[in-house]
Each structure stands twice: as C-alpha cells, then as structure tokens.
A and B are shown apart, each in its own frame.
Chain A
Amino acid sequence: MAMTINRRLMLGTLAGVSALAMGLGAANAQDKLRIAAIVQSLDTEFNVLWANAAEAHPLVADGTIELTVLDGRMDPFNQSNQFDTAINEGYDAIIFIPVDINAGNDPVARAMEAGVPVIGSNTLISDTDLYHAFISSDDVLAGEMLARSVIEKINGEGNVVIVEGMIGQSAQVQRLEGIQKVLAEYPNINVLETRTANWSRAEALTLVENWLISNGGDIQGVIAENDEMAIGSLEAVKAYGLDPATVPVAGVDGITDALLAVQRGEMMSTLQDANALAQGAIDLAAAAVQGDAYTPVAAVWDVNGGALVWGGGTEKQYSVPWVPVTADNVEELLALRDGA
C-alpha cells in the first residue's frame, strides 16, 4: 500500500490547473528526457498497476527519464486539456491511455503537429494512424478468449449474459466485437441479456442479481468485459445459490481480486500485462525522441529476453500477448503483485 505518490500529480477537482502548472514548471529547468503519461483515471486498478509499472521502469527509477503521470479522471475533455498543458510545457513525448475511443483523436493530432510524439498504450484511439507508435493488447482477441473460456466450459450450449463496459470506450467496443465473433460460431448459445454496468463492481452485482431473478436462475454463464464486473457478477451468482464451478464467470484484466478468485476456482480471467504495456511504451517514447541511439530496457522485448520483437523501435504497432490466468500460474502472478 505504501507507494510513491510524490512523482505522480494527482489532480483533485479543486486543486486544478494551477497545481499542474507549478508541478510542470518546477521540472522545466533540467535537461532530462521528460515524458508525460496521460492515463484514464487513477481510480481504476488497472491504471494504477500501469502507473506503478511505469514508475518502476529502470530509467525512470534511476532518474534518467522524468515521468509525470496525469490523471484523466475519466473525462475526455480533461484529457484534452492535459494534452495542451503537456505540449505547452515542452514535454519530449506523451504516452496516452484515452478515455474515449474517438475523442482522443484530436488531442493526439495536435501533439504530433506540435512535434511531440505520442505513444498509444493499452486502450487506443479510433484513428491509430495518428500515433507515432502504439503498444497494446488486442482487445478483440481478449473478447474472443473471454467468450471462448465461458462457452467451452458449458460445452457450447446454454444461456449466457454479457455485462458490458462503459459504452463507447475502445475496450468495450473491441471486446464486444471479439465476443460476438465467437458467439457466431456457437448457434446453441443463447444470449439472454446484454447491458452496461459501467466497469463497476457494485453496478454489475445489482444487474446480475436482477437478471437471475427475471430469468428464474436459468443462466449458465456470465461474460463480463472486465474483472471488476466479473467479481460483482460472481457475488450475485453465489448469493443466488448457484455454484460458480458450474456457472462459469469470466473477466479480463487480471486485477488482484480476480487472481484470488481464480485461485479459489471460482472464475476465469485473462491477464493484461500492465508491466509490458507501461514499460514498453516508455521505451518507445524514448526511442521516438533519441532515435537509434536508444537501447530499450524493458524485459518484454526480445533483445532483453522477452517475447516482443523490438525491431529497432521503429514499428508502428506492437501487440503485447494476453496471459490466461490458470490454476498453474496464479500463485506466481500473485507473488509478482505483492511485490509491486
């Protein structure tokens, strides 16, 4: 729990722009490589894991690179303002996790035009051509894995419900696309309900409770577009008296609660590798500024023994593979988490 907050600018609703300007201004004097990371919201665990991983990047940790994480507070407009601030303050590069798939296009174009390279990470904007480069996990693929894990467990037959993320975000759009791709292969799967729970555990809990009542408990599987909602759904399933071993619930992201539930054998999850996404993005940003002279340090790259091909850091798109969480690897993943 004790984590370094000092380098992260938390923008309270009231503290606002002045604190931001002061924080950025103070750093201006030095000649280091300065990177701004504009994330969705530090209220969500995945973004926090991402930010922690970014802070742990060796060059950030030793002070060679100065990283400032800006909290987008789930507001596309706020993120747009943060872009302007970062451009004006002369940051060398920007790493971006957009709130909204479309609203993110314009700020990225502005930054690129101003000569500040933008590296996409995790969720993406709709016009990926605008990026200097982007590193992500394929959310369509995640949707496929998610749906397949539930459907295969019930042998391709039965009633399922889909709990959606916040409508309009790239993760929701692409994961749903993947889910539908798989559903098309299984004519005997009947989708009873599809509705958003806004990525929220409490909302998903209420929603699935009510669905179980309205369908008289005749639900064989729950496909949730993230782990928070999967955990809420799981609680609803258990409260209704169903056995999670026979009514599979699955989510994506690999948050700690989900890992623990997998460990108990109550749900399925797919880990999104926050370490690879965050540290990889920092390497790409540094390469964008320093060119060939830069050597990547993140463990995810092939040059450092990882699975992802660095290729000189000049590719446009990098895809970080998903890690299915299983009874076999969950202990190890949890151990890593405690260390973070």
Chain B
Amino acid sequence: MSHRLDRGGRLIDRTKRLDFTFNGKRMQGYAGDTLAAALLASDQMLVGRSFKYHRPRGIVASGAEEPNALVGLGEEPRFEPNQRTTTTELFAGAKMVSQNHWPSLEHDIGAVNNAFARFLTAGFYYKMFIHPRPFWKHVYEPFIRRTAGLGRAPEAETVDADRYEQIHAFADVLVIGGGIAGIAAARAAAEAGRRVILCEQAAHWGGRAPVDGVVIEGQAAADWVEAQIEALRGMANVTLLPRTMGAGVHDHGYVLAYQRVADHEPGADKPRHRLWRIRAGRTITATGAIERPLSFAGNDIPGVMLASAMRDYAVNWAVVPGKRVVVVTNNDDAYRTAIALHEAGVAVRAVIDARPAARGALPEAVRARGIRVATGTAIRRVEGGKRVTAVELCAQESDGAEASERIECDAVAMSGGWSPVVHLWSHCGGRLLWDEAQASFRPDPDRPPLGHDGAGFVIAAGSANGAMLADTVLADGHEAGQKAAGAKKKSRAPKAEAEEEEPLAPVWMMPARAGYKLRMKMWLDPQNDVKVSDIQLAAREGYESVEHAKRYTTLGMATDQGKMSNINGLAILADALGRPIPQVGTTTFRPPWTPISMGAIAGEARGPLFQPLRRTPLHDWHEANGADWEPVGQWRRPYCYRRAGESRHDAVMREVKQTRESLGLLDASTLGKIVVRGPDAGRFMDMLYTNMMSTLKPGKCRYGLMCNENGFLFDDGVVARLSDDAFLCHTTSGGADRVHAWMEDWLQCEWWDWKVHVVNLTEQFAQIAVVGPNARKVLERLGTDIDLSREALPFMDWREGRLAGMPARVFRISFSGELSYEIAVPAGHGLALWDRLIEAGAEFGAMPYGTEALHIMRAEKGFIMIGDETDGTVIPQDLGLDWAVSKKKADFLGKRGMEREAMVAPERWSLVGLETVDGSVLPHAALAPLEGENANGQRKTQGRVTSTYHSPTLGRGIALGLVHRGRERMGEVIEFRGDGGRMIAAKIVETCFHDKAGEKQHV
C-alpha cells in the first residue's frame, strides 16, 4: 500500500494538517502536498478510469505529464473537471471526485469494454459507426457523447465566482523553468545587466536537482537553489514568478505565461489566475525533461509509476507507493530511485535492467546496498487488477512466451530514458534533431525559431536542451543566460558533482519480440487507451504519417497531449514502418503547454467590462426615461422610449406621430463628425465622395455618398463646408471610425503629398435633432443669436452662434422630411441643451424619439439606410442615387468600379417601394421567389425586402426592397414569401411614400 513515511519530505510542513475528501471519503494531508501526494499518502492509488476501456487508473507521474490522475475539483460555483492532481497544491477543504466511471470508481459498468478490447482497436469508432449513415446522428453520436469524455462540465448556468486578470510585461531575457538550468541562466543574464523574468510552474524552485541529491558548488542542491533565488530576489532587474507556467511562445518574442495566483487559497479576495503577456527579447526554455515509460504488458495497472515520480514522492513529500517495489529500466538514472526507496525503508525487490550489462557507478551503488540487479531482463507482464500484485520476468531478447520468474510486489518503478521538453522551443518553429545517444529528440541549435532580426529568439537550456547530467545542465544554463544577454565578459558556470552515467539502451518494447497478446496490453497512452498493438495496426492500415496515425489512434490526443506517450508511440510507428525515428518525425507542438483557464484568457473582460459600451452625453437621461436600448456599433441608442403600459410598437407609433405632427427630439450624438482641412481638402473630398464637394459654399450642406474602390456604397451623410479650406463630414453612427481610418489610409499611403488633415471630432459634440413643424419655434424660445427664419437659414444651410447660452452649430438638415435642425454643442453642454429643449418643448408636447421612429420616418421618405439598403454589393445606381454620382469629375473612389459591365447591366436589382396589397407589414428580409432553380441549385428569386415597417403616417405597411429590374416595373404586383410559406402580394411603387414634393422640410 502507498503510505506516508515517518520522517522526511522536503516540501511538506508536518505542523500544518489539511483535511480534504476524495469521493466523499475524508482524508488528511500536509501543507506543501500536491493533491496526488496527499492521495498517495492516504493509500488512494486508484484515482480514475480510462477513456475507452474504463480500466482502473492510478497516479503515474509527479508533474505536468500525468495522464491519469485527473479529478473534478471543488464545488459549484468553483467546480472544475480534469484538474491535474500532480500539479495542483493541496488546500484545506479540497473536494475531489474521480471521473469517467459509473456507478462508482470501484465498480464501473463501462469496464465491460475491457472484455471486448480486441474488437475496440484503433479506428474502431470510424469503422463501426459509419453505417448505416442516419444512425450516426440519431443513435451513435448521442450514445457516444454520453459515455465519452472525462469529467463533467460545470453546470451551464454557473457564473465563475472568481476574478481573473492579465498583465503586460517586458524583459530582455525571459527564462521559463526554475530548475537549476533556469536559475543559472537567469543569474548569468541578470549579472550581465539584463532585465530578467524567471518563471516556474511549480510553487517551489529547483526542479529535480534537490531530489536527485545533486551537489552544486559544494552545497546540497536545495541550499544552492535557495541562495540563488535569494540573490535573484535582491536584484532590481529580476522578476521572480513562481506558480507561473510558460504556456506558449509566439511570434516576435511574445510569450504567454499563466500564473496561478490563488488556486491554493480558494475564496481569497485575489485574482485566481493572471495571464502574463510578456514581450521578451530572448526566451530561454529551461523546461526540463520528461521520463518515458516502458512498454510492457500491464504497464497501466495502478502501482506502475515513473521511476522519477516515485523518487519525487519519496523525497519531496515522504510518500512511497508500496512496501515492495520492483524497478525496471534501460538506463542508470532509475537506479537513483532504487537508492531513494531503499533509504526510505522500502524493500526494493530487484532492478530489472533491459541492458545486457549495468556496470556504472549507480548500478554498483545499488548492488552495494544488497539490491538484486537483473540485466538483460524484461518485465513480461504485470499482474494485478486495481493494484499491482506481482511481475513476471523474461529475457529482454525474447518473445516473452514464457515467464522465467515471478516476483511479488505492490509497485513498479519504470524508466525508459528521458525526453527533453521541447514544446516551447517548437511553438514558433524551432526544429528538432534526433539524439541517438539519448534516444530522444532535442532542439537543433542551428534551427531556432527566428525573430524579426533573423536571429533565433528562443534558446533551449539544460535538460530541455538534452543536457542530462547536473554539471552539463548548469553549464548549459549558464551559457544560455550569457548568450541571451549578449554578455561580452564570459563568467564561470556553477559546478556540480554527480555520478557518471552509462549510456541507455533504446527499449521501445519489452520483451523485444513480444507476441500479440502481450502487445495488446502494452499501454502507450493510458488516458486514451492507445496500445502498442493499435499503433502497429494503424501502420498496417496505411496511416504512415505521424499526424494521421495520431488522429486515427488518438495517441497523444488526451488532456496530457501525449507528454509521456509521444516518443514511445513514434518509435513503435517507426519500427512498424521500417523507418528510422527521425524520418517519422513528431507531431506538432502547439500552445498551451498545459491547459490554461478560460478565465485567464478572458481576464477582466466580463460583465460590464466584457466589451466597451459607448455612451453619449445623454445616455443616463435616456436610461432614466424608459429607453429600450438597441446596439449600434459599440453605442447603445434608444430604440424607443416606453411609457408605462406601452408596448414597443405603441411607443414607436406615438413617437412618429408626435414628431410628424408637432415636435420630436433625437439624440444624434453618435453620428460621425470628421473634419477635413487643408489646402487640398476640396480635392480630397472630391475623391472620397461620389458627388462634387469642392463646389460647396461655406455655410452650405450637401448629402454625399462614399464608395470603396469597387464602387460599392459603404457610408453616407451630410457634409457641411466650414470654411474655404475645411469640411465637416457627418458619417453613419457605426461608420465613423471606419471612415476616419479610410481617410487616413488614403492620405498616408496613397496621397501622402496632399496637404490635408483629418480630425475625428465625433465625440467633441453632442448633437440633437429637433424635428417637426414646431422645431423652429422651440429653438427661438431657447434664445439664439442665429436667425432661424426660412429665408436666413434655408434647408441645407448651417450657421454657428449661440443657442441657450451655449456655443452651437445649427444644421438645417432633415432625415425625416420634416422641418428639422440638428444642433451641435460641446459634449459637456449636451445634457443641459437636451433639458432645455424638453422644458421649452413641453408646450408642443415635445418627446424624445428613438431609432425605430427615425427609421420609419426616413423609410416613409424613401431615404436609404447604410446596412439596410446596402450590404457591400450595392452601388449608388442600384438605389436610384445616380443624381449623387458626379458625371463631371475625372475620378473618385469607386468610379471605375461602378462602370464595370456587371454594374451597368440592366439586369441589376434596383430599389423600389413596396406596398402590400392587404396593407400588412412584409417580414424582414423576405424574398420574392420565382419558379425554378439557379445554377447553384437554389430557388430563383426576383427581389428581397431591405426595410419594412408599419407606417403610422400612412396607416399601412410600407417597405423598401431591391427587385430585379425594379424601376422598370412600377405598378406590378409580385409575391413575397412570408412566415410558414404564406405568399404576400405587394405592389412595386416609388420609394418615397410621404410628402413627395418635399414641402414639409422647406417651411
């Protein structure tokens, strides 16, 4: 059984006991434990079930590579599935539940799959569920969805109880990994005067060295690490980030790091996670190495662990996984585990070494402790169900048909050698080479990811770079730090003493010529249940590319992303294909290194901060007065103002009626207001707009259209000429920023020598439309030095002066067909002006109106709305706006585009008015179908509705629409498809429905 030792444990504080539960069972651990360490200390080796066969799964590793020991952690609203117990710190009150089983971890019905394992081979789902086709959607998929997956997702309506944030940081040298290589690198770079960030995913520094008993500069590794960290902490140019995982390396030296600020103290008033967005000149990946498992039958039975993990648990947390352990290896490093366990009082029954001989210092040290070493030997198979009970041995160079010996034990420590963690090196295109001696891929220093300067911006260091012995690790880390810092003066690297190691023997299968029965019990990926036999089957079925084999078998597609299984899988595939491993290559390493929370990605952007909401100076007034909001770009505009008991429709009808009959007020502040100024302003305006703007006189306004180069209409608005060299361009509310950028683009990139300045003054002004027959009267009541009379300020003129004691511009323009003034005042005066208008307008029943009333009134007049009548494929001529397209100008943006053959074809759809025969309102975007199908097999159509409303002015439904050859078809009745296929007849009419002579706006 796994248990806690009476003494030792360098990371735990035995004075601080922490209670927790696993599947409701009360357990206890110590501060400093990981969840996995605490579980093992409570003899909870069985922690979950595998994905496909539901086989019992135990803790295998002690770090990020753990494939099995994932749990549901916490309670709503903080419940999270798939939490890796090996990297999560224990906290008081932690509640864990195991995953992927029913009804319980101990008795799982899904385990019946195990009995049919020989039928559930690679690609089983693809082969089984393809026929009959309709079954996929209705039978197979729903069933698979219910049984598949690991943990359950949090409740759908749960709102994350924690807060998250991000931070931007800059460094000359970013070091990822706080083991001895990373520390040496950070120290070297910091001493060269560089700004350094050193981050480490765990809560403690030093990585493996303290566990492996390394001696550095005459000190125990742990002491050396502590002294170095202390020194780094004292340097002003160094930032230390424990509990911070380098998640991804991106172009231009941009690195994301994931800091778990408060995971270990849930409920603390702190951000739970913080995402660091680091711009680093050079990034050093000192990310260490991961031990590989060995492929022998039964290597997935709980109790079989990585040798290094067993050593970690013993030394760091004083936890051992059994009382009688067998170590199996192909290298010297695993002997350290034998020694560590022996010294912790565990009976090491034997070290099984696949190599023909083991004569290095470490094997000899093991033998000296009286531990048996069996060389040239393999584990034939492991016995046990939910727990290891024994191992059978055989010769490594055999087919394993018969066992040579059986050893009873309750745990197996395995080591297949080490693979450098090359993920972060690879994210941005760093290449790998195959290291024959270590039987692993490592970074190719000649092919790093390249930065803007053509130089490599990532440097791998230490074990991540293939340096496996403490002394070379330190030298490599130190050199990387100096290189990254561009240090001119070379300094001495820290020195370590460590035993020499003999070379490993690549062992990809145990025994070497194992038969099928053994092979189909050799797990490569224990989470996804991919075995040696599956990879071999995939190779036989033609999945030769490693990327294909991965997806076909799901090797490495589990939550651990194949950290442990990848290299072994590649080796098996290479062997099956008869190719060398480097030729088969690796799958792609993609960020993040281990999963990061969605909260960290969102940061503070939730609730009111989810997206910026733009507010006009009158926003709060609207809110307090019944505004029913509508989003317009990032603005909110009142759709209408509802009074008590009123429906939206009622409110809109009231607003239109009151405005047409007396007086309405509209907050038009969101309209874009862009000043174009300079000696070449007229020339520039003539290029931007389709019509002539340079001839406009100061004090006058003109409606204009803007097209892109293809001739398609994208914005419109009224232009006012401010002076000889200045224009004020009103744009649509949603288009202001786009138009401003469009202008700057042309000025900066194409017409850079034109003397024109563009200034976006959209937010400088509050703009209020005062609309209706009583508009002039109410303005006169406010007091103004501007003559507002019909003669002095005619339609399409503007004046500047004072109104209600404020500096104001008055534009006599109309989007409703009524007598109408738009008043612009500095935004800080906006609310005061509005209040004055409401007050002075009371005698005329003045009321605010919203965007829907605005839309109805403009549709009654046949005025277009960008985004309704246009959709990026419409040219001004389609909308009957030929009059606003200059025939005189030599050039303007879109001129050539709108002269193309397809644009001048009579077959184009053109804008018409539509009146339903029965007076009803056409549905939004309704289509007018024709018999037959087009070339794409779609129903032919002859028209579509672009705007449709109930007009209170006319007491009937009106619409605008684009209809095939529409303008030639006045009076024709065509049918539109309504809800449920009901056909609605509508007559094609002129686009202007109301006051066709335009008399009302000229009074």
Mutual binders A and B: no
